[in-house]
Amino acid sequence: MKSRLICLVIGLFHLVEAQRTPLIDSVCQAVQRQRLECQVHRVETADGYLLSVHRIPAPRNPACPRQLRPFLLMHGLLGSAADFVSGGAGRSLALELHARCFDVWLGNARGTTHSHSHRSLSPSDARFWQFSWHEIGVYDLPATVDYVLARTGRQQLHYVGHSQGTTVLLVLLSQRPEYNARFADAALMAPVAFLKHLSSPPLRLLASDSSAVTNILPRILETTPAGISRRQLQHFGQLINSGNFQQFDYRSARINTLRYGQATPPSYQLANVRLQLQIFHGSRDVLSSPVDVQRLGRELRHSSTQLYQVSGYNHIDFLFAVTAPQLVYQRIIQQAWQLDAVSVALPGG
């Protein structure tokens, strides 16, 4: 067991190392390569984290309607805003949205390459890393949403999340349901909430022994530029073990009671989510199994939900597959245009 965990750690290390970013902003590099404008905005969360949010402003094209709402895209675990631009023109979701006249904003969660700062804590301080994706949902995402709406003067935005980017939206709307009013709609690609039927051996291995994970996973995942916290991995592992979509388990009835008023962590109240949702999942995704995705759809009983299974897709195909623009992105764009009540034809469509 220990040797397999060590191998897993080494594999994760190489995955993170492959995402190391040079001093020049890799997101803006990819955008500017397409001769497009790229901006970087700084957003501070209520608990002091300083987030970078990338923006590709809407085209200065008189044919583009002014009534289009902005898009906010949120990446998954070990990802960043770069996930939505690195494929280049005709392949990347952010660039496809820009080509269809949208103002595109790209979030970066705390601890990742572009959001590695805090008002008073250094990344070398263990307190900096005392968060899971719960905090990303209740602090990072609302701060980013509020900033985008304030800067654009709009009351609502469109949202797309991939993997953990779907998790944090569900956390936000479960915990702070007043934020439903700030989203026109949302698209969830490879959603992660219920993980009971997950078939990924490495992740099942992580979930099998939380204490071993804590001891063996070094600070590699925290100190590399694409860092994540160990608590993020532990929280996902808890979802695998419990089969429920619930808050972080401190593995102490006393601490849980102090935090939650009960000995076990409460489930997220998905009945609080009230959105028009498109949920895209792959038939070959070892994380988002069809059974778990269907359960998510049932639990979102107060949302208008459309489920789309994409044949042959795995977890990251939604970001990088050559067919993603036709099979996934076009549906997202069409719904956004319809909701924004645009009567003109899509440019280039």
Secondary structure (H, E, C), the chain: CHHHHHHHHHHHHHHHHCCCCCCCCHHHHHHHCCCCCCEEEEEECCCCEEEEEEEECCCCCCCCCCCCCCEEEECCCCCCHHHHCCCCCCCCHHHHHHHCCCCEEECCCCCCCCCCEECCCCCCCHHHHCCCHHHHHHHHHHHHHHHHHHHHCCCCEEEEEECHHHHHHHHHHHHCHHHHHHEEEEEEECCCCCCCCCCCHHHHHHHHCHHHHHHHCCCHHHHCCCCCCHHHHHHHHHHHHHCCCECCCCCCHHHHHHHHCCCCCCECCHHHCCCEEEEEEECCCCCCCHHHHHHHHHHCCCCEEEEEEECCCCCCHHHHCCCHHHHHHHHHHHHHHHHCCCCCCCCCC
The angle formed by the CA atoms of residues 242, 248 and 252, to the nearest 5 degrees, is 90
Q: Which of 200, 82, 14, 238 is nearest to 230 (CA)?
A: 238
Q: How far apart are CA 45 and CA 143, in angstroms?
A: 6
CB 160 within 8 A of CB 190: no
Cite the active site residues: 163, 315
The angle formed by the CA atoms of residues 122, 128 and 134, to the nearest 5 degrees, is 150
Which residue type does 211 have?
S
φ/ψ (deg, to 5) at 24: -70, 140
